[in-house]
């Protein structure tokens, strides 16, 4: 199975900050990488697919980059509704494993 790691596991930030989350795969997955946002008690929401494609309806302050084993999710200017947990997921091969998540909370 492909192992996914994320860093940091949590971070504190202020509204308006630029936030970057890193995801690493245990082997090359090309650009088969998705990012999801989850708020407490809710289902995950797709933000980015294929490493850098913005899902329809997702604000443009979210962006993704990377290929191979190293990926990043960037929130250019953090908004109050962005305080959540973010998960990466590889869609390269089954089982389609997730990273452990990065919790973004209010500083």
Binding site for other proteins (CB under 8 A): 31-32, 34, 36, 42-46, 49-50, 53, 55, 87, 89, 91, 94-101
Find out whether 91 and 32 touch, Cβ atoms under 8 Å: yes
Secondary structure (3-state) at 101? coil
* Residue in the block written with tokens 């604000």: 59
CB of 104 to other proteins, least distance (A): 15
Using the minimum distance from each CB to other proteins, give the nearer residue, 16 or 40: 40
CB of 11 to other proteins, least distance (A): 17
List C-alpha distances in Å: 84 to 4, 50, 98, 102. Answer: 19, 21, 16, 8
Using the minimum distance from each CB to other proteins, give the nearer residue, 44 or 66: 44
CB of 34 to other proteins, least distance (A): 5
Give CA–CA dist 52/54, Å, rounded. Answer: 6
């Amino acid at each position: 199975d492909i192992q996914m790691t994320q860093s940091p596991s949590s971070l504190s930030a202020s509204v308006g900050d630029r936030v970057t989350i890193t995801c690493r795969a245990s082997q090359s997955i090309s650009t088969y990488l998705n990012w999801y946002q989850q708020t407490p008690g809710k289902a995950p929401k797709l933000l980015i697919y294929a490493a850098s494609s913005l899902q329809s309806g997702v604000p443009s302050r979210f962006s993704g980059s990377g290929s191979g084993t190293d990926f990043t999710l960037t929130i250019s200017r953090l908004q109050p509704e962005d305080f959540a947990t973010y998960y990466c997921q590889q869609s390269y091969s089954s089982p389609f494993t997730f990273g452990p998540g990065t919790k973004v909370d209010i500083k």
